[in-house]
Amino acid sequence: MSTAKSILTGIKPTGQVHVGNYAGMIRPTLDLMASNPDGENFLFVANYHALNSIGDPDQVRQFTHEIAACFLALGLNLETTSFYRQSDVPEVFELTTVLGSVTPKGLMNRAHAYKAAVDANAQKPNALPDDGVNMGLFTYPILMSADILLFDAHVVPVGKDQIQHVEFARDIAGYFNRRYETEFFTLPAHSVQENLEAVVGLDGRKMSKSYGNTLPLFGDAKARRKAINRIVTDSKQPEEPKDPDTNTVYQLYAALAEPAEIAHLRARFEDGGLGYGEAKRILADKLDELFEAPKARFEEYMSDRGELEAMMAKASERARDKAARKIAALRRVIGT
Ligand code: ADP
Ligand code: TRP
């Protein structure tokens, strides 16, 4: 049996790419795709998913370009990976409609993001349960399932918060396959960094664009150092032993550094003798070391949007071709 796999993932253009995205999704995705020589790789910018939260077209365009430039700067290989914008593959939206017809509404009621919105409304005195929830948010997992199933992805690398969505895609593929008594859609599986919990942000909560607590990957290095210096720590003196696991500086370092470096810093925290000032400097140095060269490449890509668009148009060809063939076959299965 062939071991060739199809790997697929996407990211929404809703803000500047940050260290949480890098450690949770970008780095593992690039590693997985680089070690899949006999398989197929698909990476895309989920720009229609972004519309649920962003109504400014210039922002959508800007963040889309930033994601493309970011992946290219970090070593994305366009020879071996099809790279596209979701909107460049309109078959995704046709498939979304078809999948809607086999997806029980109750499944969407159980989606974490929707439930979180309803729970938040329950805490507000005069809010109705669905206040602020648009249908894009409610049906988000169906569009995401279409993204995945259209390309028969076997493996979907994501951060842990996305596991439920990939499981939904698997469920929805199953509903379709059972209704039409076929194996038309491949059942996808998520791939996560088992040993990485959500990367913490500057305020100790999960790093997220929505919390404004991020370290952008290609931000100004001096501003980044200042932001790191503002991370709140306890008042332990340098010589006192410290618990690395309750410490934002250590946790950020642990998300980025090599295992031997992490073990070394951990021991220094536990033994005492490492002050927070020095720990913050070690973290800032690590970020400079990792992102200085990619940042220069990122800026180079961002400086010529015409060229970037041309690269994206070419990089999407294979995906568009494959999507068209899958939809033609789908129409035969469903009789449309
Ligand atoms: P955000 O929460 O900042 O809006 P996205 O939802 O766009 O981030 O996430 C893009 C990818 O990065 C997803 O695969 C997600 O699981 C991953 N990711 C986002 N934030 C983190 C984090 N703090 N730690 C680990 N992975 C993350
Ligand atoms: N929902 C993902 C996120 O918020 C983005 C996404 C959209 C995605 N479609 C996808 C990820 C398909 C993997 C596969 O990060």
What is the model's pLDDT at position 256?
96
> What is the model's pTM?
0.95
* Nearby residues of 131 by Cβ (< 8 Å), 6 or more positions away: 121, 124
Q: Are strands 81-85 and 189-191 parallel, antiparallel or unpaired?
A: unpaired
pLDDT in tens, 169-226: 999 999 999 999 999 999 999 999 998 889 999 999 999 998 999 999 999 999 999 9
Q: Confirm if 85 and 47 have CB atoms less than 8 A apart.
A: yes
Q: How far is the CA of 53 from the centre of ligand 2 (A)?
A: 14
**Please, is 183 exposed, middle or buried when counting C-beta atoms within 10 Å of its C-beta (0-12, 13-18, 19+)?**
exposed
CATH architecture designation of domain 6-198+305-334: 3-Layer(aba) Sandwich (3.40)
* Cα–Cα distance for residue pair 204/252, rounded to 1 Å: 10
* Nearby residues of 91 by Cβ (< 8 Å), 6 or more positions away: 150, 323, 324, 326, 327
pLDDT grade, residue 1 (50/70/90)? Answer: very low
* Cα–Cα distance for residue pair 58/132, rounded to 1 Å: 23
Does any ligand 2 atom lie closer than 6 A to the CB of residue 49? yes
- Classified by CATH at the fold level, domain 218-300 comes out as Tyrosyl-Transfer RNA Synthetase (1.10.240)
For range 306-321, the mean pLDDT: 97
CA atoms within 13 A on the CB side of 244: 20
* Cα–Cα distance for residue pair 7/1, rounded to 1 Å: 18
Rg, Å, the chain Cα set: 22
Q: Is the pLDDT of residue 61 over 80?
A: yes
pLDDT in tens, 101-160: 999 999 999 999 999 999 999 999 999 999 999 999 999 999 999 999 999 999 999 999
Q: Which amino acid residue places its CA nearest to atom 13 of ligand 2?
A: 9
Structural domain boundaries of the chain? 6-198+305-334, 218-300
What is the model's pLDDT at position 98?
98
Q: Confirm if 18 and 217 have CB atoms less than 8 A apart.
A: yes
- The mean pLDDT of the chain is 96
Does any ligand 2 atom lie closer than 6 A to the CB of residue 85? no
What is the model's pLDDT at position 3?
66
Q: Which amino acid residue places its CA nearest to atom 11 of ligand 2?
A: 10
Does any ligand 2 atom lie closer than 6 A to the CB of residue 213? no
Q: Is the pLDDT of residue 229 over 90?
A: yes
Cα–Cα nearest to 298, from 80, 75, 78, 29? 75
End-to-end CA distance of the chain: 33
pLDDT in tens, 25-44: 999 999 999 999 899 999 99
Which ligand has an atom closest to residue 27 CA? 1
Q: Which amino acid residue places its CA nearest to atom 26 of ligand 1?
A: 24
pLDDT in tens, 266-312: 999 999 999 999 999 999 999 999 999 999 999 999 999 999 999 99
Give the phi and the psi of residue 39 in degrees, each rounded to 5: -105, -165
* Nearby residues of 130 by Cβ (< 8 Å), 6 or more positions away: 117, 118, 121
CA atoms within 13 A on the CB side of 142: 24
Atom of ligand 1 nearest to the CA of 208: 3
Which ligand has an atom closest to residue 148 CA? 2
pLDDT in tens, 80-93: 999 999 999 999 99
Atom of ligand 1 nearest to the CA of 198: 24
Where does ligand 1 bind, in terms of residues with CB under 6 Å?
Answer: 11-12, 14, 20-21, 23-25, 158-159, 161-162, 198-199, 206-210
Q: How far is the CA of 70 from the centre of ligand 1 (A)?
A: 15
Q: How far is the CA of 161 from the centre of ligand 1 (A)?
A: 7
Which ligand has an atom closest to residue 10 CA? 2
